[in-house]
């Protein structure tokens, strides 16, 4: 196995993210295969007993067990790190395994974490239910309010955790401000970048320390496998994350890593086209519903901030109808768009967050973060936007809008 065309990272790291998404981290075997090889193996064999001892002692290079290293997984990790502009990356079985690993690998009883209230349901569950069980103090704030981050800081604050745009309220966090504030206080920022990916937004360019992913979404992009990733400095990944990951084992399977790599090859194309389609469909929906939350539209209160952090605003937006009955009615009237709670897929998918993705969050927390009963979240896919608009048009008409 050798690295892409023999080039080392000092050369390849300057490629743009779209190039990295196709070529970053590629190793080739002696067969010179064009598409990355799938090493579906749990273990490795050795020429001698001394060789394996040397590898375990860290004195010789080489793989020892797929919970520790796997060539296919390593290719994906190198590729994601290069796309992100990060020194290192490790992948996990799901986005939630990535979030749990990114947080628990660095937090201990007595530490404090500040998190934005608008978040994916399971991310909120980690903050509201898991962290307190292990003695980690938590404060949940409005991530849009720069001063609220500062007010929440305590002597034992270790981590700031947020999504931007947030699922499903599309709240934007001012990364330049919040990451600088964290740095000044020795706090690590963990940014969940699932809604944008490196194709549309690179949090490390704004001072983020750790970028965590559900790669299930836009990265994989075609609704096939679950995956997660955590990017950071080599020091963070090797000294903080790896001891946790290697011993707790939330690893990504080589097969799923390979599928995500195939997805990444088209990420730039998909992310841009789906963003464009979402804006086209969003403009149509805006004229028909009481309220739409789309950072790419001038009506979004943080539109300018979103434009200053993101190249494009992504495939997802939310809109608010009168209540649950009308929202469910619209979902049931859809013909082309599927009722589905996934996002980032090349298919258009729509769901009712209060009864699905945010069902595990308490009713009070849902109300506090703005996940109201009339909210629908839609992922705009790669279909012709005229067909998506025609479907939404007939469904909106059926519910009286």
Ligand X SMILES: *Cc1c(COP(=O)(O)O)cnc(C)c1O
Token digits of residue 206:
């704004």
Nearer to ligand X, 71 or 314 (CB): 314
Nearer to ligand X, 143 or 228 (CB): 228
What is d(CA 66, CA 241) in angstroms, rounded to the nearest whole number?
16
Query: Does residue 59 have a cis peptide bond before it, meaning omega lies within 30 degrees of 0?
Result: no
Q: Give exposure, 302-317, as e/b (b: 16+ Cβ within 10 Å).
A: bbebbbebbebbbbbb
Nearest approach, Cβ of residue 33 and ligand X (Å): 28
Task: Extract the runs of DSSP E, i.e. beta strands, from 70-121.
Answer: 88-92, 112-116
Name the residue whose CB lies closest to ligand X: 95
Nearest approach, Cβ of residue 30 and ligand X (Å): 35
Q: Which residues contact 223 (CB under 8 A, 6 or more apart)?
A: 342, 345, 346, 347
Nearer to ligand X, 194 or 313 (CB): 194
The DSSP output letter for 353 is G
Nearest approach, Cβ of residue 215 and ligand X (Å): 7
Q: How many CB atoms lie within 10 A of CB 182?
A: 22
> Where on the chain is the footprint of ligand X (CB under 6 A)?
94-96, 99, 120, 122-123, 163, 167, 192, 194, 214, 216-217, 226, 228, 343
Nearer to ligand X, 79 or 377 (CB): 377
Nearest approach, Cβ of residue 397 and ligand X (Å): 30
Nearest approach, Cβ of residue 122 and ligand X (Å): 6
Nearest approach, Cβ of residue 335 and ligand X (Å): 25
Task: Extract the runs of DSSP E, i.e. beta strands, from 221-330.
Answer: 228-232, 291-293, 316-320
Nearer to ligand X, 214 or 277 (CB): 214
Nearer to ligand X, 175 or 343 (CB): 343
């Amino acid at each position: 196995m050798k690295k892409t065309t023999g080039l080392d990272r000092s050369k390849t790291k300057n490629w743009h993210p779209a190039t990295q998404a196709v070529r970053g981290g590629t190793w080739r075997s002696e067969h010179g295969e064009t598409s990355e090889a799938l090493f579906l193996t749990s273990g490795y064999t050795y020429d001698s007993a001394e060789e394996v001892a040397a590898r375990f002692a860290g004195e010789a290079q080489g793989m020892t067990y797929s919970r520790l290293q796997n060539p296919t997984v390593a290719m994906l990790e190198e590729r994601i790190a290069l796309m992100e502009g990060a020194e290192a990356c490790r992948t996990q079985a799901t986005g939630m395994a990535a979030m749990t690993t990114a947080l628990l690998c660095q937090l201990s009883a007595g530490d404090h974490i500040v998190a934005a209230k608008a978040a994916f349901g399971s991310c909120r569950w980690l903050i509201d239910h898991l962290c307190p069980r292990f003695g980690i103090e938590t404060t949940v704030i409005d991530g849009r309010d720069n001063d609220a981050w500062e007010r929440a800081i305590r002597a034992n604050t270790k981590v700031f955790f947020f999504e931007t745009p947030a699922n499903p309220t599309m709240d934007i966090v001012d990364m330049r401000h919040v990451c600088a504030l964290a740095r000044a206080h020795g706090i690590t920022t963990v940014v969940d970048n699932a809604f944008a990916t490196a194709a549309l937004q690179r949090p490390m360019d704004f001072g983020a320390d750790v970028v965590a992913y559900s790669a299930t979404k836009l990265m994989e992009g075609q609704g096939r496998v679950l995956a997660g990733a955590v990017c950071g400095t080599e020091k963070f990944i090797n000294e903080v994350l790896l001891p946790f990951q290697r011993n707790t084992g939330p690893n990504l399977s080589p097969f799923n890593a390979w599928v995500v790599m195939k997805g990444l090859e088209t990420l730039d194309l998909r992310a841009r086209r789906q963003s464009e389609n979402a804006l086209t469909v969003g403009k149509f929906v805006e004229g028909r519903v009481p309220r739409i939350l789309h950072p790419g539209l001038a009506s979004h209160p943080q539109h300018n901030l979103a434009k200053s952090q993101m190249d494009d605003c992504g495939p997802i937006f939310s809109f608010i109808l009168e209540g649950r009955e009308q929202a469910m009615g619209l979902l049931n009237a859809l013909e082309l768009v599927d009722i589905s709670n996934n996002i980032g897929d090349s298919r258009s998918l729509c769901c009712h967050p209060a009864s699905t993705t945010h069902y595990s969050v308490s009713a009070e927390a849902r109300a506090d973060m703005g996940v109201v009963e009339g909210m629908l979240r839609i992922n705009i896919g790669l279909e012709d936007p005229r067909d998506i608009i025609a479907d939404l048009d007939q469904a909106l008409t059926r519910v009286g809008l």
